[in-house]
């Protein structure tokens, strides 16, 4: 039995090696990449459909049970989130047996520093964990987990077929594009998501595989889920110039909402991170989340069902099973309810993630945007201003808040256009999203996924030149093959050092290895053949201290190191740590050579 198993494994390996050799001989890298992009799209689309279907079936099944309380509401909603969080934590600890990671930030880090490599377990871990979380009411989205899953599928397929690091990254992007395209049936939005969020360059080399993957995933979604759109609605009225001021105001409101969402999610997640015990985080978070959902049922799960009802002009579903159900006939109460929902959704999302759930902020930003747009339009109408369409404003608000949170205006605009089946709102979408982006940008330079990576200097951006210097590991470029001399040494010791050195620079260190200065071979050439001076000439007398322009600290930003090379036209810089201990030298030639290699590796062309 064991021998048969070994033979089977050896046969599989033999077939695999033969295929790799055959492929390299007969199929060009470009054609093979395009073929694999279709495969990645099909698998990502299938994963998206599976995830969406499982969550929706479970949601419907759970919500059919209702145990009313004396104040109204559904008692079971208090319990469901705790069950989901518990199951998620158990799955991560005992099945995955490791950290799932932080979703899209993990993918961005892999693109920037990891060569596009993602663990094989990421192909299923986020799907299962997010299903458990959201199906039982966790107030997060499925889009980021499925995009992470698609990215892992692309990464692992690329590595399985031994593609180059560049092509592995491309398939990783194809997986993310396919996942977003599949979950929304929106291929253009899937491509723009990768270009804007993952910061791929929009070149002919990149666009074709991304588009093939996105179209393949959308085809799978249409085939398995039908032609229904995510939000089917009819645009009410035409958007004329007279309406532009109203949408400009909406853009400002959505900017404020976006900044609120970013700040609150940060603070709440940090608060939970400070709780060292997994049990305490889970208990506190589950109770808080259950109470929020009990009071405001639209916070349950993704929330798209409630948002769809708003787009259809009805707010009754917002109050179903709510303790405030009897108040929904008062328009001002509805406005107050919507306002509190906007504030609470951000807290509920961060609480779900902070206490151990798995999910993303993509969906919540859509929900909050829709609520904000509906709120603003309803306020306009209540104040007696010219009547506006609540559905139109809700959709435009969705794109605007996504723009503010994700810094992806084109993806947000085309996503709304695709998932609603029309482009009639293009002008309001452009105006509102532009205003939101301009208002948010001075306060937040990066998307919610990239902010922390940017702070750590681990983010690859569209500016490949700047990113290359930022992401290069200067520690690996430090040269240590310099012979050092000590402060108490004499000329005799220096001559001995010269005998064994291949360099013409000699660092002078104190007895505790702190850097003092350097001696150049040219400084001693005229006396090194005078033995009578060997014992009465001190090294310190020959040393000359260097200026700050000749020294870099290991903690200095790479851009500052490069600037010192350029401004001072220096060929070597001494590297010390923050306590002045000597580490080595950086040479101009090696540093710029490493830069050129780095740019070549990350180039999209």
Question: Of the candidates 358, 591, 557, which has an alpha carbon nearest to the alpha carbon of residue 456?
Answer: 557
| Sequence-distant (≥ 6) Cβ neighbours of residue 231 within 8 angstroms | 304, 307, 308, 311, 395, 419, 420
**How confident is the model over 328-356, as a mean pLDDT?**
90
519 and 451 belong to one structural domain: no
At 2, the pLDDT band (50, 70, 90 cuts) reads low
Over the chain, what is the mean pLDDT?
Answer: 84
- The answer as to whether 233 is a domain residue is no
* Same domain (yes/no): 410, 525: no
**What is the C-alpha to C-alpha distance for residues 323 and 580, in angstroms, rounded to an integer?**
65
Check whether residue 451 and residue 475 sit in a common domain: no
Residues 454 and 485 in one domain: no
What's the whole-number mean pLDDT along residues 531-553? 80
Per residue in 102-114, pLDDT tens? Answer: 578 888 877 777 6
Q: Which of 547, 548, 494 is nearest to 519 (CA)?
A: 494
Reported as a pLDDT band with limits 50, 70 and 90, residue 268 is: very high
- Contact between 301 and 137 under an 8 Å Cβ cutoff? The reply is yes
Quick: pLDDT tens for 10-51. 777 778 888 888 888 888 888 999 999 999 999 999 999 998
Do 404 and 494 fall into the same domain?
no
Q: What angle do CA 308, 52, 76 make, to 5 degrees?
A: 75
| 400 located within any domain | yes
Arithmetic mean of pLDDT, 194-204: 80
1 belongs to a structural domain? no
Please report the pLDDT score of residue 551 as a whole number: 83
Mark whether 305 and 407 lie in a shared domain. yes
Structurally, how many domains does the chain consist of?
A: 3
**214 or 326: which carries more pLDDT confidence?**
214
Decide the pairing of beta strands 551-553 and 572-576: parallel
**pLDDT band at 3; cut points 50, 70, 90:** low
Confidence of residue 600 (pLDDT cuts 50, 70, 90): low
Instruction: Give the structural domain span for 139.
Output: 26-225
- Mean pLDDT throughout 363-370? 93
Confidence of residue 605 (pLDDT cuts 50, 70, 90): very low
Q: Are 561 and 457 in contact (CB under 8 A)?
A: no
Residue 139 lies in a domain: yes
Query: Which is nearest to 559 in space by CA: 469, 453, 458, 457?
Result: 469
Q: In what order do the strands lie in the sheet with 582-587?
A: 551-553, 572-576, 582-587
3-state secondary structure of 575: strand
435 lies in a domain? yes
Both tokens of 497, joined, read: 């050092």
- The predicted pLDDT at position 604 comes to 46
pLDDT at 390 over 50: yes
Q: Dump pLDDT digits (tens) for 113-147.
A: 767 888 888 888 888 999 999 999 899 988 889 99
What's the rounded mean pLDDT across residues 76-81? 87
End position of a domain, from candidates 407, 440, 459? 459
- Asked which of 459, 478, 513 is the last residue of a domain, the reply is 459
**pLDDT score of 236:** 58
Residue-level pLDDT at 527: 85
DSSP assignment letter at 490: B
pLDDT (tens digit, 9 = 90+) per residue, 215-262?
999 999 988 887 766 555 556 555 667 788 999 999 999 999 999 999
| pLDDT band at residue 473 using 50, 70 and 90 as cut-offs | low
Helix axes 143-160 and 125-135, enclosed angle (nearest 10): 170
The answer to whether residue 395 is domain-embedded is yes
Query: Given this model, what pLDDT does residue 582 score?
Result: 85
pLDDT average, residue stretch 57-83: 82
- Is residue 323 assigned to a domain? yes
| Of 94-98, 137-141, 252-256, 366-370, minimum mean pLDDT range | 94-98
Q: What is the pLDDT of residue 603?
A: 53
Does a structural domain hold residue 505? yes
Q: What is the CATH number of the domain that holds 137?
A: 1.10.3080.10
pTM value surpassing 0.75 = yes
State whether 215 and 273 are in the same domain. no
Of 69-73, 141-145, 470-474, the one with minimum mean pLDDT is 470-474
Instruction: Report which DSSP code applies to 94.
Output: I
Across the range 143-167, mean pLDDT stands at 90
Q: What is the pLDDT of residues 406-429, one digit of tens each?
A: 999 999 999 988 887 667 788 899
| Residues 475 and 453 both lie in one domain | no
347 lies in the same domain as 253? yes
């Amino acid at each position: 039995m064991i021998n048969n198993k070994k033979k089977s494994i050896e046969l599989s390996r033999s077939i695999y090696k033969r295929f790799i050799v055959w492929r390299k001989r007969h199929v060009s890298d470009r054609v093979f990449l395009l073929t694999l992009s279709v495969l990645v799209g099909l698998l990502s689309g299938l994963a998206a459909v599976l995830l969406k279907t499982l969550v929706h079936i479970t949601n419907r099944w759970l919500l059919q049970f209702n145990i009313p309380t004396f104040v109204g509401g559904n008692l079971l909603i208090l319990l469901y989130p705790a069950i989901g969080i518990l199951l998620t934590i158990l799955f991560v600890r005992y099945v995955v047996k490791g950290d799932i990671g932080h979703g899209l930030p993990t993918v961005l880090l892999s693109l920037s520093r990891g060569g596009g490599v993602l663990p094989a377990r990421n192909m299923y871990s986020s799907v299962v964990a997010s299903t458990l979380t959201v199906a039982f009411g966790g107030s997060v989205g499925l889009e980021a987990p499925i995009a992470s899953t698609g990215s892992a599928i692309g990464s692992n397929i690329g590595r399985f077929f031994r593609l180059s690091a560049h092509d592995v990254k491309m398939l990783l992007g194809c997986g993310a594009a396919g996942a977003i395209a599949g979950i929304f049936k929106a291929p253009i939005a899937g491509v723009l998501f990768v270009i804007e969020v993952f910061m791929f360059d929009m070149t002919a080399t990149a666009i074709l595989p991304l588009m093939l993957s996105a179209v393949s995933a959308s085809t799978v979604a249409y085939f398995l889920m039908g032609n229904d759109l995510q939000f089917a609605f009819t645009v009410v009225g035409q958007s004329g110039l007279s309406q532009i001021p109203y949408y400009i105001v909406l853009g400002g409101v959505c900017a404020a909402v976006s900044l609120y969402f970013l700040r609150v999610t940060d603070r709440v997640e940090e608060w939970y991170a400070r709780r060292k015990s997994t049990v305490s985080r889970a208990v506190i978070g589950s109770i808080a989340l259950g109470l929020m959902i009990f009071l405001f049922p639209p916070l349950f799960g993704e929330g798209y069902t409630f948002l769809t009802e708003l787009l259809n002009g009805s707010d009754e579903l917002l109050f179903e099973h709510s303790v405030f159900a009897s108040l929904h006939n008062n328009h001002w109460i509805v406005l107050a309810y919507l306002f509190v929902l906007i504030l609470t959704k951000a807290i509920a999302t961060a609480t779900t993630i902070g206490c151990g759930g798995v999910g993303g902020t993509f969906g919540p930003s859509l929900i909050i945007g829709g609520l904000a747009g509906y709120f603003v339009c309803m306020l306009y109408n209540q104040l007696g201003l010219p009547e506006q369409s609540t559905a139109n404003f809700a959709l435009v608000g969705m794109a605007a808040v996504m723009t503010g949170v994700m810094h992806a205006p084109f993806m947000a605009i085309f996503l709304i256009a695709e998932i609603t089946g029309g482009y009639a709102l293009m002008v309001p979408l452009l105006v509102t999203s532009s205003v939101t982006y301009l208002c948010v940008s001075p306060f937040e330079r990066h998307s919610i996924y990239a902010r922390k990576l940017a702070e750590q200097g681990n983010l690859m951006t569209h500016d490949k030149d700047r990113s290359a210097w930022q992401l290069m590991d200067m520690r690996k470029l430090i040269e240590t093959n310099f012979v050092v001399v000590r402060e108490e040494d004499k000329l005799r010791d220096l001559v001995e050092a010269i005998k064994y050195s291949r360099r013409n620079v000699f660092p002078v260190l104190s007895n505790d290895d702190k850097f003092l200065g350097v001696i150049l071979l040219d400084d001693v050439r005229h006396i090194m053949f005078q033995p009578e001076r060997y014992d009465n000439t001190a090294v310190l007398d020959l040393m000359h201290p260097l200026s700050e322009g000749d020294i870099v600290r290991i903690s200095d930003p790479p851009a500052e190191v490069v600037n010192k090379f350029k401004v001072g036209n220096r060929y070597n810089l001494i590297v010390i740590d923050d306590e002045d201990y000597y580490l080595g030298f950086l040479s101009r030639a090696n540093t710029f050579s490493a830069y050129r290699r780095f740019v070549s590796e990350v180039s999209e062309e």
